[in-house]
Amino acid sequence: MSAERRLNEHDPRDADIRMALDAQTALMPYALAVFAVCLPLYVWAGSFAADAGWLAMSFAVFAVNWGAFYGVVAWLRTDAAQDVRRRSRVQLASGLLWALAVVQMTLFADGGGPARDTLLQMSVGAAIICIFFSAPHLLSLLVIAPVASAAPLVALFSRPDGVRAGAQAWGALALAMALSLVFNRMLRRQHALALEHERLLRERLDVLETAERSARSKSDIVATLSHEIRNGLTGVTHVLAAAAGKGGRAAPSREQLNAALDAAQDLVAVLNATLDSETAEAGRLAVDSVPFEPVRLIRDLVLLERPHALAKGLEMTVHIEPDLERRPLGAAIGDPMRTRQIVANLVGNAVKYTVRGRIEVRVEQRADAIAIQVADTGPGLSAEEMEQAFQAFQRVERTGAGVNGAGLGLSLSRQLARLMGGGLEGAGAVGVGSCFTLTLPFDEHAACPVDPVGEEPQAVEPVGAPPSNLRVLIAEDDALNAAMLRAILEQLGHQVVHAQNGRRALDLARICDFDLVMLDGRMPILDGPQTAAALRALDGDNRDIPIVAVIGGDADEARECLDAGADTVLRKPVSVAAVARAVADAAALDRRSIAGQAAVA
């Protein structure tokens, strides 16, 4: 069956034709019953005619039509009947058989002698039956009705003594045609309502499926986070309780503190992955598309992960394609921060799951793409396990027992890779190891930036950062967030003044000089955007002070802060490197020359 002839269920015309044909098919048994009831009357009247051969021919025509109808009913159960246009032609042809039977009856009646008028009136009745039972399908009605009506009318009007009977037959046939058109119109209206009902039902089912998928996702999030938060916070709580001297226990050891720090970092990683995954699932996760140097990014990541690998007795090597090392031009195209996130997850997984052997990171160019491979000699994954590993909140029980994680790393990494125009694939063999390949677009003529890309995880100031000892005003209503931000800023060498809300920060800005203001996006009394707008409306030097908005929301909240006058947006949870970079970016702005511009850290 050709593609053009297949039923398009989303085409309203095809759907309407199918419903009309279904209605006509439902009337077929009744049509056969009516002709069966009328046949004895027709035979009785035909017995008064002089030509018995014509009567026998009528029997033969009726037998052929009944056989054809039973064949059509059987054919409608086959796959070939799914083509509505072919089915329309078949049903039209079967209706024409009965119209031709009326023509044969008329020819027999015209030579029927004393039974002529009676037989012609019966032919008119047979034509009316054909009109009625072809009414559901408009094309059949418009074709069959004239064919079935023409012969009786011509025979009646052909003789002067039959004009009156012909006029009566004409009126009856016209009335039958009008009623059949009304019937067809009503059926088409019902079909339209049925199609609209089906469309609404499909939409409702789609909404229900989306809601169920969202509910399952939220259930998975709650189950995962509850487990990870409980485990992480329990360990941190025990260490903090020991540090506070509760229960008479000794102060925590360095190993306990490191374990608590690892648990807290794992918890932050789980929360970040969950938020990013939900944002990506909702289609609100944005990535940059800029040229960057992948070789330096990979070397930096391996340098950071190599101590963890060595602590487990693993060998970690990097292989860079020689052409990538030597060429003066050429850069990967994508988001360097997200690329770092993906590769860090792949390398981290390799270190986490590999017990013995080695980890190899390879970078090579493939046509117009750059490929970053991370291979290990870990437990390896089968094809089914690999597919499961790329599903959100799904962990492979064979390899994931006793290992922390939410089961989101690979799923999120693949989403990020696709958003950057690349891809992430995995292959493995049980007992041999796994290999994951990240591909990103590569531009041979693009120039890489001079400075390193991505966010450095160490507490160092970026190149070009302003000198230390800045006077920083923090507006943050959450005491824990404020304490953490103060600790980071003081670690970077800055002086900090804390205000618990936007109103207090505005009062301090009126009487004191500051080099930088960091505002929480959501605060009581005056929120972040309102405070930023009020600061820009001040008189004096603080009117042009750099403002960093520290937010925990989405892009809409960031845009509100930037539109209100903030220079840079920093998203929670913050890290030392992120704060250092945000402070450097904001403090480097000269609002007198680039007023109105904003950057997002």
24 with 165, same domain: the answer is: yes
Average pLDDT, integer, range 502-522: 89
State residue 130's pLDDT score.
Answer: 86
311 and 420, same domain (yes or no)? yes
Rounded to 10°, the helix 576-587/479-491 angle is: 70
Which residue would you say has higher pLDDT here, 217 or 418? 418
Please indicate, yes or no, if residue 217 is contained in any of the structural domains: no
Q: Is residue 126 part of a domain?
A: yes
Report the pLDDT value the prediction gives residue 361, as an integer from 0 to 100: 92
Is 19 found in the same domain as 116? yes
Q: Could you tell me if 330 and 373 are in contact, meaning their C-beta atoms sit under 8 angstroms apart?
A: no
pLDDT given for residue 8 in this prediction: 44
pLDDT digits (tens, 9 = 90+) for 349-358: 888 888 889 9
With 70 as the cut, is the pLDDT of residue 255 above it? Answer: no
Number of helical (H) and strand (E) elements in the chain, helices listed first = 18, 13
Whether the Cβ atoms of residue 448 and residue 291 lie closer than 8 Å to each other? yes
Question: Are residues 53 and 103 part of one domain?
Answer: yes
The answer to whether residue 73 scores a pLDDT higher than 50 is yes
pLDDT given at position 466: 46
Tell which of 248, 281, 314 closes a domain.
281
CA–CA distance, 277 with 493 (Å, rounded to integer): 35
Closest C-alpha to 413, from 504, 346, 337, 474: 346
Q: What is the mean pLDDT of the chain?
A: 78
Asked if pLDDT for residue 258 goes beyond 90, the answer is no
Triad 493, 495, 500: Cα angle to 5°: 130
310, 400: one domain = yes
Give the domain-ending residue among 133, 168, 203.
203
Query: Given pLDDT bands bounded at 50, 70 and 90, which one contains residue 463?
Result: very low
Q: Is the same domain home to 556 and 523?
A: yes
Q: What is the mean pLDDT of residues 497-515?
A: 89
Q: What does the pLDDT read at residue 184?
A: 87
| CATH code: domain of residue 378 | 3.30.565.10
Cα dihedral sign for 23, 26, 32, 35?
negative
Does 73 reside within a domain? yes
Q: What is the mean pLDDT of residues 157-182?
A: 88
pLDDT in tens, 175-202: 999 998 998 888 888 888 888 888 888 8
Does residue 550 fall inside a structural domain?
yes
Kindly tell me the burial class for residue 296, based on how many C-beta atoms sit within 10 Å of its own C-beta (0-12, 13-18, 19 or more).
Answer: middle
With 60 as the cut, is the pLDDT of residue 369 above it?
yes
What average pLDDT does the segment 484-502 reach?
87
Residue 439 belongs to some domain of the structure: yes
pLDDT digit string, tens, across residues 5-14: 333 444 556 7
Alpha-carbon distance of 486 to 490, in angstroms, equals: 6
Please give the pLDDT value at position 461.
38
Coil vs helix vs strand at 467: coil
The helix or strand, by DSSP H or E, that contains position 495, with its residue range, turns out to be strand 495-499
Asked if residue 374 has pLDDT above 90, the reply is: yes
Cα(82)–Cα(75) distance, integer angstroms? 10
241 and 361 together in one domain: no
- pLDDT of 542 above 50: yes
414 and 510 belong to one structural domain: no
Per the structure block, which two tokens stand in for 500? 């618990």
Shared-domain flag, residues 239 and 313: no
- Coil, strand, or helix at residue 390? coil
Identify the domain boundary among 393, 428, 443. Answer: 443
Which whole number is the average pLDDT over 148-152? 89
In a domain, 402, yes or no: yes
Given this model, what pLDDT does residue 459 score? 35
Are residues 246 and 192 located together in one domain of the fold?
no
- List the beta bridge partners of residue 568: 548, 599
Identify the sign of the CA torsion 87, 88, 91, 97. negative
pLDDT band, very low/low/confident/very high, at 599 (cuts 50, 70, 90) = very low
Q: What is the pLDDT of residues 399-441, one digit of tens each?
A: 765 555 556 678 888 888 888 899 999 998 888 899 999 999 9
**How far is 431 from 385, CA to CA, in rounded Å?**
13
- Domain of residue 270 covers 230-281
What is the pLDDT, as a whole number, of residue 2? 39
Dist CA 565 CA 535 (whole Å): 8
Number of domains in the chain: 4
Give the Cα separation of 18 and 87 in Å (integer). 9
pLDDT value for 218? 62
Share of the chain above pLDDT 90, in %: 9
**d(C-alpha 172, C-alpha 35), whole Å:** 19
Measured distance CA(92)–CA(140) in Å, rounded: 5
Among 507, 499, 551, residue whose Cα is nearest residue 529:
551
Residue 188 located in a structural domain: yes
| pLDDT tier at 56, thresholds 50, 70, 90 | confident
pLDDT-above-70 percentage for the chain? 74
Bigger pLDDT: 107 or 240?
A: 107
Residues 49 and 181 in one domain: yes
The answer to whether residues 519 and 593 belong to one domain is: yes
Most confident of 33-37, 52-56, 185-189, 302-306: 185-189
CB atoms within 10 A of CB 7: 17
Please state which of the ranges 166-170, 257-261, 538-542 shows the lowest mean pLDDT.
Answer: 257-261
Residue with tokens 């409702």: 204
Domain contains 571: yes
The CATH number given to whatever domain includes residue 536 is 3.40.50.2300
257 or 490, greater pLDDT: 490
pLDDT band at 397 (very low <50, low <70, confident <90, very high): low
For residue 429, list its beta bridge partners: 433
Window from 56-60, 152-156, 402-406 with minimum mean pLDDT: 402-406
Residue 375: pLDDT band (50, 70, 90) is very high
